[in-house]
Structure 1
Amino acid sequence: MKLNDLKPAPGAKKARRRVGRGLGSGRGKTAGRGTKGQKSRSGFSQGAGWEGGRSRLIVRLPKRGFNNASVDFQVVNLKDLERFEEGATVNTESLKAVGLVGNSNQPVKLLGGGELTVKNLTIDVDAYSKSAIAAIEAQGGKVVGAAASEETA
């Protein structure tokens, strides 16, 4: 057997029905669309949920639930920053690189858990706790970003 001998099994390749191709085909003339009217015309496409002019079901039913505007932060504690070297810049990308955060699209909050012994860190994340800011600045570090001035979230 060679590759050029291969062919589909009998009956596996059924040709689709081509409608509107002659009266003898059984689907000629109006091609299964009936006679006249909007639905028989080419290009007709009725919108999903359209009910002939009356209010759609999706509009008649009441709204349910509520969209929660609160933000879910990825939390990093001060003790986690020990793996960075002195004078390093810590941001979302560097935290992801060392495996402290998983998703770089989700905001990061730095909390004051644990001791920080690394000096001169420059930290740029989305939110900080007051204790975290105090501990970083006590070690000669710098807090960057709009959220650096006060506790956020």
Structure 2
Amino acid sequence: MLNLSNLSPQKGSTKQRKRLGRGPGTGHGKTAGRGHKGFKSRSGSGIKPGFEGGQMPLQRRLPKRGFNNIFKKEYVLVSLDQLESFEGAEVITTAALIEAGMVKKGAMVKVLANGTVTKAVKVHVEKISGKAKELIEAAGGEVILVEAVSE
């Protein structure tokens, strides 16, 4: 009977590791397959990613363009169809959207007018499109823009 105590790998699927520096009889003694002298024979050596033998590496040869704005605010988009799944009486905040699993923690939310809203919902988010605001207010809802909370 096969159980955990007598499991073994398929025949030929494993082979012994190369034991380096174990005497001349092994064929991997003394220099242990690294040859004599040079960068690749030293400990801690090895060609680093991007190294091109002293030639100027590609990532330094190519021109750099553009600008990365570190203060850019990225918003997660939520549609009116998604807001429709909430109950009419409750206030829909960013925290409520995180709890519902629609938005990840720490994200800022922008509501877009994809779909329709039939319930009177109160929405407290960082940003909303003009059309979405119109549709929510037409359904008897309320929109309040809140400042982004930095964590």
Greater mean deviation of Cα atoms: 58-67 or 43-52? 58-67
Tell me whether 1:90 sits opposite 2:92 in the alignment: yes
C-alpha separation between the residues in 2 aligned to 1:129 and 1:12? 60
User: Is the contact between residue 119 and residue 139 of structure 2 (CA under 8 Å) also seen in structure 1?
Assistant: no
C-alpha separation between the residues in 1 aligned to 2:28 and 2:99? 63
Q: Which runs of 5+ in 1 are unaligned?
A: 148-153
C-alpha separation between the residues in 2 aligned to 1:11 and 1:27? 23
C-alpha separation between the residues in 2 aligned to 1:112 and 1:42? 60
Compute the displacement of 1:37 (Å).
2.0
> Cα–Cα, structure 1 residues 133 and 10, in superposed 2: closer, same or farther, change >3 Å?
closer
Instruction: Give the TM-score of the pair, scaled to structure 2.
Output: 0.62
Greater mean deviation of Cα atoms: 51-60 or 74-83? 74-83
Letter in 1 for 2:55: R
SS in 1 for 2:18: coil
User: Is the contact between residue 20 and residue 28 of structure 2 (CA under 8 Å) also seen in structure 1?
Assistant: yes
Pairing of 1:6-17 with structure 2 (within 5 A):
6-17=7-18
- The answer for the alignment partner of 2:28 in structure 1 is 27
Pairing of 1:37-116 with structure 2 (within 5 A):
37-62=38-63, 74-77=77-80, 80-81=83-84, 83-86=86-89, 88-95=90-97, 102-104=102-104, 105=107, 107-111=109-113, 114=116
Instruction: Give the TM-score of the pair, scaled to structure 1.
Output: 0.61
C-alpha separation between the residues in 2 aligned to 1:79 and 1:61? 44
**CA RMSD for the aligned pairs?**
4.3
Q: Deviations over 1:14-55 (max 9, x none)?
A: 211111110111111111111112221111133212123320
Structure number with bigger Rg: 1
C-alpha separation between the residues in 1 aligned to 2:120 and 2:99? 18
Q: Which runs of 5+ in 2 are unaligned?
A: none
Aligned length: 141
> Cα–Cα, structure 1 residues 118 and 10, in superposed 2: closer, same or farther, change >3 Å?
closer
Greater mean deviation of Cα atoms: 16-25 or 55-64? 55-64
> Cα–Cα, structure 1 residues 117 and 11, in superposed 2: closer, same or farther, change >3 Å?
closer
User: Is the contact between residue 80 and residue 116 of structure 2 (CA under 8 Å) also seen in structure 1?
Assistant: yes
> Cα–Cα, structure 1 residues 79 and 48, in superposed 2: closer, same or farther, change >3 Å?
closer
C-alpha separation between the residues in 2 aligned to 1:132 and 1:12? 61
Compute the displacement of 1:6 (Å).
4.6
